[in-house]
A and B are shown apart, each in its own frame.
Chain A
C-alpha cells in the first residue's frame, strides 16, 4: 500500500510535446511508471518516447485508460488543462507548472472540490511512491521504499529530506510535494487523513514554510485525528515580513504566517520539530522512538 499512486497507476502527460514535458516523461518512464500517453492540442497522432499523443484528455482516457496526469503546459493554460483532466474523469491530477494566477486557482479549486478527484499543485515537484510510480520532476534514485509518509510545500528541500531519510535507512511510503502557491489543490490535512489510513505508513514528515495557516490547521488536525508519529520542519525562520520568498505563497503578510507561530502550533500538537534543515531525518527517528 501507499497513497494516491502505485504500480497500477496509468499516467498521462499534458504538454508532452514541450521540452519539460518530454524530458520528464522520459524520466518517469525510466523510473518504471506506467506512462500511457500524452496530450497536446493540435499534435494528436504524433508520438513522444514511443507514446501516443492525443488532442484531448478525453480521448487518452478512452483509448489508454489513463487515470492520472502530470501537467507541464504554460501557466496561462494550466487552469484549462486541470479542468480538462477533471472533466475527463482523471483521478489524480498533478500540476507541475509554476506561475498560475491565483484568481484562476480560486475557480479551479472550487470545481475540483466538488468532484471526486485529487489535485496536487500547482507549482510542485509532483509525487512518488518509491519503486512503483514517479509522477513529476524529482530525482527517483534518492528514494527508498519504506514506512515514512512525506508531504511538503517545497521541491529541493523535499529531496534534501528524502536523502536524509534514505541515508538513515528510513524508506518512504509516498512523498508528495503540495506546491508553493497560495492556493493549491491538496492540503496537509487531506494527506494526513490518507497517511493515517494507509497501513504501510508508520510515521509522517511534514515540511512547511512561512505564509498562510496550512501548518497551524494541520497541527490541530494531528492533535485530534492522527495516531502515528509526526515530525515537522518549517522553512523561513529568518525571512523578513512582506517579501515573497521565491514561492508565491511564501510571504509573511500582515504579521501573519511567521515560522515562529507555526512551530509553536506544531509543538503544542505534540509534533517533533526539526530545528535545523539538517535535522529532518533525525526528527523522524526521534518521533518514532518516542512512540515505541
Chain B
C-alpha cells in the first residue's frame, strides 16, 4: 500500500524524524492560508499523487506548470495551487494518462547545503532490511545504481536490534558528513530504520535527504510503501489509503479477493494461480496478442468469484476476447466448467470466450462445456488456447 508524501511526513514527525513544517490543502484558498501559516517567506507547493518524478512532471492542462514549485508570496501559492488542483499531472512514473491532483502540500522552504539520497528496503538476496545512502541526491537512484554504483553505500540491519551507531558513523564517513551533522544523521537514520520495522514498510525513500546550512539532516521528500501482508496489524495505516489513486478495477477485484492488474492489451485473462496467470499473459504475447490484464482467481474458483472476475474483465472497453485458463488440481474440472457456465450466463458475454481446462476430471469438464449449447470456444493445451484467443480477438 502506498501513501502520500504529506502522510509519510506525518508518520516521520510522530516518530521523531526531522521534517519541515507543512500543511495540506485541497483548494487554492487553503494553499494561500497554508503559505501564511508558514510565516510568509519561501515555501514549496507540491502536488500529492502516488507517483514519483513530480518535480520534472507537468500538468496536462497547463504544460508550463511542474508538479513541484517554489513560491514567494501568498498570491503565487494560490496561483500555483490553482493550476495543480484538479489538473492531470504526468510524470515518468504515471504513464501518459497521468494522475489527477486532488491535494497539494505547502511546505516551508529550507536552506540546502547538500542533497543526498536515503532508502530502506528489504534486500531479498540477504533476507534482511538494508539502508542505502548516496551522495547523489535528488536524482533517480536507479540511474545512480546503473552509472555510478560506487556512490551508493549500504548497511544491513537486524530488525530487532536495529541500525547501530557505528553503522551511521561509517556511512557519514563515506558521505563526507562531519561535525555535529553526524549526530543529527544518527538520530535521523536510526529512528527511520526503527520506523521501517515498526510499521512493516516495504520501502522508505527520502530523496533528497538534505543537510541544511546549519548542519541539520532533514527529509525534503518522503515516500513510504507498506507490506500489504502486514496491514492486518496496522489498522491506523489503513485509514491513510487513498482509493482515488488506485485503478478502480483493481480496487473492485481486491474486494472480491481476486488478484488483478490492469494492462494495456485487448485479451482478458482469467487464470488460477499467479505463476500460471503470468505465463498465460506471456504465451498470448508470444502468439501475437496483447493481454488486457493479469487475473489470479485463486485456488477456489467459485461461481461467485468467476462471475465477478468476468464482470471486471468485460468492464474494460478494450477487451475483444476472454481466455479462461484453469489447471484443476485439487479442484475438479467439472466444478470449474459449471462455475464458468453459470457465470457466463449471469454476466451476458458480448465477446468470444475461449476456455482451456486441464487436470482432474478434464474429460468430463470439457463434455459439460461442449454439451451446454453455450457459444464457448474450447481449447486443448496452452498453445492451442493462446492461438484461438488471439484469433478471436482479431
Contact = CB atoms under 8 A, between A and B. Distances in A.
B124 A157 contact: no
Contact of A160 (B145, B299, B382): B382
A101 interface: yes
Interface stretch (A61-69, A195-203, A230-238): A230-238
A101 B230 contact: yes
Given A153-B275, A154-B273, A159-B359, A110 B158 contact: yes
Nearest to B231: A101
A276 B288 CA distance: 13
Query: Which residue, of B160, B281, B296, B327, has the highest number of chain A Cβ atoms within 10 A?
Result: B327
A269 interface: no
Interface in B110-164: 121-122, 124-125, 127-129, 141-142, 145-146, 158-160
B286 A75 contact: no
Contacts of B129: 103, 106
Interface in A200-251: 207, 209-214, 217, 233, 235-240, 242-250
Contact of A238 (B142, B159, B232, B285): B285
A180 B93 CA distance: 26
A159 B327 contact: yes
B186 interface: no
B229 A248 contact: yes
A210 B275 contact: no
A71 to B, nearest CB: 16
A14 interface: no
A154 B274 contact: yes
Instruction: Please classify the interface of chain B as helix (H, G, I), strand (E, B), loop, or mixed, using the class held by over half of its residues.
Output: mixed
B202 A102 contact: yes
Interface in A111-168: 137-139, 141-142, 152-160, 163
A99 interface: yes
A156 B329 contact: yes
Interface string A259-271: 1000000000000
Interface residues of B, number: 57
Given A138-B329, A152-B275, A237 B124 contact: no
Contact of A240 (B263, B274, B279): B263
A80 interface: no
B229 A101 contact: yes
Interface of A: 24, 27, 75-76, 99-107, 109-110, 137-139, 141-142, 152-160, 163, 180, 182-183, 207, 209-214, 217, 233, 235-240, 242-250, 253-255, 259, 275-278
Given A27-B330, A253-B121, 9 more contacts: A152-B275, A154-B276, A157-B275, A163-B327, A213-B124, A217-B125, A246-B275, A247-B275, A276-B382
Closest 10 CB pairs of A and B: A154-B275, A246-B274, A156-B273, A157-B275, A101-B230, A277-B279, A139-B329, A278-B382, A235-B278, A156-B276
Interface of B: 93, 121-122, 124-125, 127-129, 141-142, 145-146, 158-160, 197, 200, 202, 227-230, 232-233, 259, 261, 263, 271-286, 291, 294, 296, 299, 327-330, 358-360, 381-383
8 contacts: A76-B232, A99-B229, A102-B229, A139-B330, A238-B291, A243-B261, A245-B278, A246-B294
